[in-house]
């Protein structure tokens, strides 16, 4: 890859301190913007960059900012989604822990563009030790005049705070996050209205993922066009992929979008191949919610084209033979993996995390867990397999928020691609692994 955008300095010792970050050119994007850019010019650079939301949905960031009504006198809010709870995803922690000032600088840029005077970083409660690192960095930014009243004499003022969650995956869904930030249960809101119209405390709000926000300083420093020159098709720029499972080198990798999946899995620069003596069986490419693909379909599309790490290529073939880039949580499984058992942990997860507002999700996730448990423990029937498909179909598209879909897709795709393995569990009346 030509140049790293997000992790360029990540190995520099002491990067979490203001001094080191600043010495490496940090906060120059804030200086540039406060001196030379109107808020709308910042938005326009971000639009030009083609940056898409890195939280999972891939919505264009600049377009989302454009939905904010700037004519009202209401306060506006910019909120960072640091809930990072999608199984397989562990990239935001990397930034928060090692380079908090990059996130803070991005928060200042986004807040300025939106006209927010108060902004929040909502971080999952389990990551309190990262919250402390970010709070320390925020204090340094205040001390050095990059936060607070009249930043760098520009007349623009901004307060920035961290807010902990308390163990609820659903609070990663942006409207549930806002409910939680208001001190309530994390029940997703019915959309519309979207947060850009009615968000935090009823005011226009933008929620963006940590990684989306961390890309902003580079985009401002180098220009939106430079960013959009990186990547492929409508997948601009770079993406953090958190790779785990049965690979030689689990970890967080910044890739240029468009990298062949095969290279990502087997090259020593990235995952370093499957652990010795084993072979690739399946991959969940974008966090637990996206469809699982068997080895042949993750490496090549159904038409035999090499599969690339990009929004378009990963979803090529739709749900029949494709998947999604999602959050970039890349879970690799070798031939020793029981697909049913892995799926059971996911089903348990979604059942546990359903907020309970919609009956298809609340009941369906529980049923799916129970049936999968039955099959895995050797008490399943062939009818159970079809029942699972049936339940997943009844959840999909029938719920307030996408958690329902997220629970349904892994089940539907595992049966689509690995049906024999489910049947084997039933025939043997036990787990074959």
Ligand X SMILES: Cc1cc2nc3c(=O)[nH]c(=O)nc-3n(C[C@H](O)[C@H](O)[C@H](O)COP(=O)(O)O)c2cc1C
Segment 187 to 216, residues that bind ligand X, using CB under 6 A: 207-209, 212
Is position 383 an interface residue for other proteins (rule: CB under 8 A)?
no
Q: How far is the CB of 190 from ligand SF4 (least distance, A)?
A: 9
302: left (phi over 0), alpha (psi -120 to 50) or beta: alpha
Picked from ligand SF4, other proteins, ligand X, none, the partner binding residue 62 (CB below 5 to 8 A depending on kind) is: none
Picked from other proteins, ligand SF4, ligand X, none, the partner binding residue 118 (CB below 5 to 8 A depending on kind) is: other proteins
Q: Choose, by CB under 6 A, the member of 180, 212, 354, 413 that binds ligand SF4.
A: 354
Q: Give CA separation, 240 vs 6, 140, 249, in Å.
A: 8, 27, 15
Q: Choose, by CB under 8 A, the member of 124, 236, 307, 417 that binds other proteins.
A: 124
Q: Choose, by CB under 8 A, the member of 352, 370, 419, 427 that binds other proteins.
A: 352
Measured from the CB atom, the residue of 405 and 424 that comes closer to ligand SF4 is 405
Q: Residues with Cβ < 8 Å from 226, sequence gap 6 or more?
A: none
Q: Choose, by CB under 8 A, the member of 66, 164, 272, 366 that binds other proteins.
A: 164
Q: Is 411 exposed, middle or buried (0-12, 13-18, 19+ CB in 10 A)?
A: buried
Is position 318 an interface residue for other proteins (rule: CB under 8 A)?
no
Segment 362 to 391, residues that bind ligand SF4, using CB under 6 A: 362
> What is residue 52's DSSP assignment?
B
HSE-CB at 76 with a 13 A cutoff on CA atoms is 23
Is position 339 an interface residue for ligand X (rule: CB under 6 A)?
no
Q: Choose, by CB under 8 A, the member of 23, 184, 191, 305 that binds other proteins.
A: 184
Q: What is the dihedral of CA 288, 286, 194, 51, to 10 degrees?
A: 160
Measured from the CB atom, the residue of 52 and 246 that comes closer to ligand X is 52
Q: How far is the CB of 7 from ligand SF4 (least distance, A)?
A: 32
> What is residue 291's DSSP assignment?
P
The structure tokens 């599969």 sit at: 307
Q: Residues with Cβ < 8 Å from 48, sequence gap 6 or more?
A: 62, 223, 224, 225, 227, 228
| Angstrom distance (rounded) from CA 398 to CA 365 | 13
Buried b (16+ CB within 10 A) or exposed e, 219-238: bbebebebbbebbbeebbbb
Q: How far is the CB of 88 from other proteins (least distance, A)?
A: 6
Q: Which residue of the chain is nearest ligand X when measured via CB?
A: 53
Q: Choose, by CB under 6 A, the member of 29, 170, 259, 415 that binds ligand X.
A: 170
The site map against other proteins for 134-163 (x = CB under 8 A) is -x-----------------------x-x-x
DSSP 307-339: PEESHHHHHTTHHHH----TT-EEEEEETT--H
Q: Choose, by CB under 6 A, the member of 172, 186, 199, 217 that binds ligand X.
A: 172
Segment 357 to 376, residues that bind other proteins, using CB under 8 A: none
In this structure, the chain runs to a length of 433
Q: How far is the CB of 42 from ligand SF4 (least distance, A)?
A: 33
Measured from the CB atom, the residue of 158 and 170 that comes closer to ligand SF4 is 170
Is position 399 an interface residue for ligand SF4 (rule: CB under 6 A)?
yes
Q: Residues with Cβ < 8 Å from 249, sequence gap 6 or more?
A: 243, 268, 270, 271, 272
* Three-state SS at 81: strand
Picked from ligand SF4, other proteins, ligand X, none, the partner binding residue 145 (CB below 5 to 8 A depending on kind) is: none
Q: Going by DSSP bridges, is the β-strand pair 251-256/238-245 parallel, antiparallel, or unpaired? A: antiparallel
> What is residue 80's DSSP assignment?
E
Is position 406 an interface residue for ligand X (rule: CB under 6 A)?
yes
Q: Dump strand ranges (E) for 83-158.
A: 118-123
Which residues contact ligand SF4 by CB under 6 A?
Answer: 170, 188, 354-358, 361-362, 399-401, 403-404
Which residues contact other proteins by CB under 8 A?
Answer: 75, 84-90, 92-93, 118, 120, 124-129, 131-132, 135, 159, 161, 163-169, 180-186, 201, 242-246, 250-252, 284, 288, 329, 331, 333, 337, 341-342, 345-346, 348-349, 352-353, 355
Which residues contact ligand X by CB under 6 A?
Answer: 53-57, 59, 81, 83-86, 170, 172-174, 207-209, 212, 401-403, 406
């Amino acid at each position: 890859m030509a140049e790293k955008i997000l992790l360029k300095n990540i190995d520099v010792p002491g990067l979490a301190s203001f001094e080191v970050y600043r010495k490496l050119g940090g906060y120059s994007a804030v200086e540039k913007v406060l001196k030379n850019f109107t808020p709308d010019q910042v938005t326009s650079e971000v639009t030009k960059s083609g940056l898409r939301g890195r939280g999972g949905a891939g919505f264009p960031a600049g377009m989302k900012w454009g939905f904010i009504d700037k004519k009202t006198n209401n306060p506006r809010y910019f909120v960072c989604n640091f809930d990072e709870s999608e199984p397989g995803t562990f990239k935001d922690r990397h930034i928060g822990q090692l380079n908090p000032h990059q996130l803070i600088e991005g928060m200042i840029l986004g807040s300025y563009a939106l006209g927010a005077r108060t902004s929040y970083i909502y971080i999952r409660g389990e990551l309190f030790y990262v919250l402390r690192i970010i709070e320390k960095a925020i204090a340094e930014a205040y001390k050095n005049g990059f936060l607070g009243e009249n930043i760098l004499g520009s007349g623009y003022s901004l307060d920035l705070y961290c807010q902990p969650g308390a163990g609820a995956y659903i609070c990663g869904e942006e409207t549930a996050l806002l409910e939680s930030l208001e001190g309530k249960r994390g029940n997703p809101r019915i959309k519309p209205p979207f947060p850009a119209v009615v968000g935090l405390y009823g005011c226009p709000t933008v929620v963006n993922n940590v990684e989306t926000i961390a890309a902003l300083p580079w985009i401002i420093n180098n220009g939106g066009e430079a960013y959009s020159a990186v990547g492929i098709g409508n997948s601009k720029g770079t993406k953090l992929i958190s790779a785990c499972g049965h690979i030689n080198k689990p970890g967080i990798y910044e890739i240029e979008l468009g990298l062949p999946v095969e290279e990502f899995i087997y090259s020593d620069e990235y995952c370093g191949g499957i652990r010795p003596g084993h072979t690739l069986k399946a991959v969940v490419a974008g966090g637990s919610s996206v469809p699982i693909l068997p080895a042949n379909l993750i490496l090549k599309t159904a038409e035999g084209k090499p599969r690339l790490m990009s929004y378009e290529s990963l979803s090529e073939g739709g749900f029949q033979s494709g998947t999604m880039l999602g959050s970039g949580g890349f879970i690799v499984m070798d031939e020793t993996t029981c697909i049913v058992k892995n799926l059971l942990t996911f089903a348990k997860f979604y059942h546990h995390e359903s907020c309970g507002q919609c009956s298809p999700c609340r009941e369906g996730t529980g049923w799916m867990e129970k049936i999968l448990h039955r099959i895995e423990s050797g008490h399943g029937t062939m009818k159970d397999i079809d029942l699972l498909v049936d339940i997943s179909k009844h959840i999909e598209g029938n719920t307030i928020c996408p958690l329902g879909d997220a629970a349904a897709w892994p089940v539907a795709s595992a049966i689509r691609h690995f049906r024999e393995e489910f049947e084997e569990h039933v025939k043997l009346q036990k787990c074959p692994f």
